[in-house]
Amino acid sequence: MAITTKLIKELREKTGVGMMDCKKALVETDGDIEKAIVYLREKGLAAASKKAGRIAAEGAVKVVVKDDKVAGIVEVNSETDFVAKNEDFQNFVEDVAEQVLVSDAKDLDAFLAESWAKEAGKTVKEVLNEKIAVIGENLNIRRFEKIVSEGCVAAYIHGNGKIGAVVEADCNEVNDAVKTCLRNVAMQVAAMNPKYVSREEVPSDYIESEKEILLHQAKTEHPEKPDNIIEKMITGRLNKELKEVCLLDQSYVQDPDLTVEKYIAQAGANIKINKIVRFETGEGLEKKEENFAEEIQKQLNA
The residue ranges of every structural domain in the chain are 1-54, 58-166+280-301
CA distance 21 to 27: 10
CATH number of the structural domain 1-54: 1.10.8.10
Whole-structure pTM value: 0.73
H helix runs in the chain, sequence order:
5-15, 19-28, 33-42, 81-84, 87-102, 108-113, 124-135, 176-192, 204-221, 227-245, 260-266, 292-301
CATH number of the structural domain 58-166+280-301: 3.30.479.20
Q: 1-54 and 58-166+280-301 share one CATH topology?
A: no
Query: Considering the chain, what is the average pLDDT of its residues?
Result: 86
Over the stretch 126-182, which tens digit does the pLDDT of each residue have? 999 888 878 878 889 999 999 999 999 999 999 889 999 999 999 999 999 999 999
Over the stretch 223-233, which tens digit does the pLDDT of each residue have? 888 888 888 88
